[in-house]
Amino acid sequence: MTAFKHWLDRTGMGSVLLLALLLIVVFPLCLDLFRLNLVGKYLCYAFVALGLVMLWGYGGVLSLGQGVFFGLGGYGMAMFLKLEASDPVTTKIQSTPGIPDFMDWNQLTALPIWWEPFRSFPLTLLLVLTVPTLIAFIIGYAMFKRRVGGVYFAIITQAIALILTVLIIGQQGYTGGVNGMTDLKTLLGWDTRTNSAKYILYFVSVGLLLGSIVLCTWIQKSKLGTLLLAMRDKEDRVRFSGYDVSMFRVFAFCLAALLSAVGGAMFTLQVGFMSPSLVGIVPSIEMVIFAAVGGRMSLVGAVYGALLVNFGKTYFSESFPDLWLFLMAAMFIGVVLGFPEGLAGLYTNKVKPWWQARMAARRAAPATPPITPAAKRTEAPDTEPGALPPGISSQQT
């Protein structure tokens, strides 16, 4: 038992096991299917928050355009599902059967050639993972090699998010426009709208998320993680030591893009649609809030941040439909001002030291021996036979 506790302290897996217990046991037992499906959707955003911990917390580079990679992963999966839902039999009422309905509405008479790879599921999975990573590599290489960082990098990534949103909305015949891709029902013939499918997709999301946390924890504890921290705090010293700082940052940016794409693909599978409203500037900033509230240095804290912010968003929008945006802003400002290191910092700096001090005081306290009947007779005051109890005079009797 002691060796297991040492292993948990050394690897930091204790908080991961607690999170796994919450996601695998507590939520499925305590929540109905509707709420559990909402949690599954929130966990898709948690993938983006994990990437931001690696990029922003460890790499020191803030990206305000992670919605781009989330959307690319989601649109890649949506293209496959849309083609599967657009077989010639189902779309026989269209003027051109066999193509997605929004293409038919926009007078397209044939499937665009760049849609063809998405007829294959293995190729779709490959493209979902590689296309966002490749785009992140091109953007990161172009900017980090020229030592573009800080505020300028954040502004450029925001501009890319805006450009992609305008592109998606403008090319309605190829992307579905402002409505996005909807009516996504099956995956390889498996109906994703059934109750059993929702449970399975939830647990798949949890498994992928926990696997991503373990991978990122391993990176943080490796030499690469140490170098990322060193570059964040003393970039010039790392560069003078002979390391290529730009390529390490490109790696962190690509890793964050890959995780975001996985989250986007799982989001499409669980929710059944993908739209440009999930790609633009506002959702990208919301994703940064997840990491800021949870703690940008903590992987598990970022997951809790994504869950907390989205729970608050759902609760406030249901209970206070006219004020929920103000309440969300107040929550974010309060957490950032009160706990600059997020909820993870609150636990590390306040809760954990208080608990450790309490446990140390309890261990240092002397143990009180149990009082036996013989000891009670020994401690009792000596009284002569026939004497009255103390406090009672003979006159009272």
User: Looking at the domain assignment, is residue 370 inside a domain?
Assistant: no
> Other CB atoms closer than 10 Å to residue 362's CB: what's the count?
8
Q: What is the mean pLDDT of residues 177-202?
A: 88
User: Looking at the domain assignment, is residue 390 inside a domain?
Assistant: no
Per-residue model confidence (pLDDT) at position 67: 92
CA 53 to each of CA 61, 68, 118, 146, 299: distance values in angstroms, whole numbers, following the listed order? 10, 17, 31, 23, 6
User: Looking at the domain assignment, is residue 239 inside a domain?
Assistant: yes
- Collapsing DSSP states into helix, strand and coil, what is residue 181? strand
Question: For residue 168, what are its two tokens?
Answer: 């998606």
> Other CB atoms closer than 10 Å to residue 352's CB: what's the count?
11
Q: What is the mean pLDDT of residues 291-312?
A: 89
State the residue for tokens 């999975």.
125
User: Looking at the domain assignment, is residue 182 inside a domain?
Assistant: yes
What does the pLDDT look like over 113-131, one tens digit per residue?
A: 999 999 999 999 999 999 9
User: Between the ranges 130-139, 189-198, 337-346, 353-362, where is the mean pLDDT highest?
Assistant: 130-139
Report the C-alpha gap between 269 and 260 in whole angstroms: 14
User: Looking at the domain assignment, is residue 334 inside a domain?
Assistant: yes
pLDDT band at 10 (very low <50, low <70, confident <90, very high): low
Q: What is the pTM of this model?
A: 0.86
- Write out the residue range of the structural domain in which residue 145 sits: 15-349
What does the pLDDT look like over 17-49, one tens digit per residue?
A: 999 999 999 999 998 888 899 999 999 999 999
User: Looking at the domain assignment, is residue 226 inside a domain?
Assistant: yes
Per-residue model confidence (pLDDT) at position 70: 94
The number of distinct structural domains making up the chain is 1
User: Looking at the domain assignment, is residue 8 inside a domain?
Assistant: no
Per-residue model confidence (pLDDT) at position 1: 63
Lowest mean pLDDT across 128-142, 181-195, 257-271: 181-195
User: Between the ranges 6-10, 118-122, 323-327, 373-377, where is the mean pLDDT highest?
Assistant: 118-122
User: Looking at the domain assignment, is residue 374 inside a domain?
Assistant: no
